[in-house]
Amino acid sequence: NSKVIQTPRYLVKGQGQKAKMRCIPEKGHPVVFWYQQNKNNEFKFLINFQNQEVLQQIDMTEKRFSAECPSNSPCSLEIQSSEAGDSALYLCASSLSRQGEDTQYFGPGTRLLVL
Amino acid sequence: GNSVTQMQGQVTLSEEEFLFINCTYSTTGYPTLFWYVQYPGEGPQLLLKVTTANNKGSSRGFEATYDKGTTSFHLQKASVQESDSAVYYCVLGDRRTNTGKLTFGDGTVLTVKP
């Protein structure tokens, strides 16, 4: 069973507000991923890190989304100005490596509702 | 780019019936294929994984075989139980990208009636 911890489990924000969520990866996993799962169960990759460095991110995250994985602190994903379309389940996953063949272990997610 | 297609959005079975979920993929890279299962209120969890080296994976009675010729990775189980009710995702990893990003299918909602 996955030991990825995500907090909070639920987040309710008004439009234009900041939304911040955190993730503690499995111990010993240097690679962390953030995905967005919408109400239609579609997954969108947002960003990933190896240790503290960004490996890849989509264009959307360069604008309103910011993320970091500081040393000895939880990773975080923050939406600077929430929009209704950001309502989704945000999933954090961790892995032993960035090789596509390694299993990613997912946390339970943070469900964001933007009113 | 990479893509995964699951044609069946929903499957409804009775207990002990045979399960078959269709999955096809497209990639120009070096695929590793996964089936993840997601229960309500939880994140996806690995069900099984197959690389080009081993072709077939199995777990908890589920089986999937990687077919490079038809680029398919169908999931099957001989006899489902009510507890198998969940959403099943066919997922593609690509060693070529070297970032680990996964490509998910749209998922198949499995409902097993007692």
Q: Is A70 helix (H, G, I), strand (E, B) or coil?
A: coil
Could you report the per-residue pLDDT of A23-47, keeping only the tens digit for each? 999 999 999 999 999 999 999 999 9
The pLDDT, as a whole number, for residue B29 is 80
Look at residue B55 and tell me whether its pLDDT is greater than 90: no
- Count A/B contacts: CB-CB distance under 8 Å: 79
Q: Which of A95-99, B7-11, B14-18 has the lowest mean pLDDT?
A: A95-99
Q: Evaluate whether B74 touches B64 at the Cβ level (below 8 Å).
A: yes
**Mean of pLDDT over chain A:** 92
Above 90 in pLDDT, residue A83? yes
- Position B113 pLDDT exceeds 90: yes
Of A56-65, B50-59, B61-70, give the range with the top mean pLDDT: B61-70
Cβ <8 Å between A109 and B98: no
pLDDT of residue B100: 85
B43/A41 Cβ within 8 A: no
Q: Which residues of A touch B102 (CB under 8 A)?
A: 33, 35, 43, 45, 100, 104
Contacts of residue B89, Cβ cutoff 8 Å, sequence gap at least 6: A41, A43, B6, B35, B36, B37, B38, B44, B104, B105, B107, B108
pLDDT of amino acid A61: 62
From chain A, the residues in CB contact with B32 under 8 A are 100-101
Mean pLDDT of chain B: 92
What average pLDDT does the segment A51-58 reach?
88
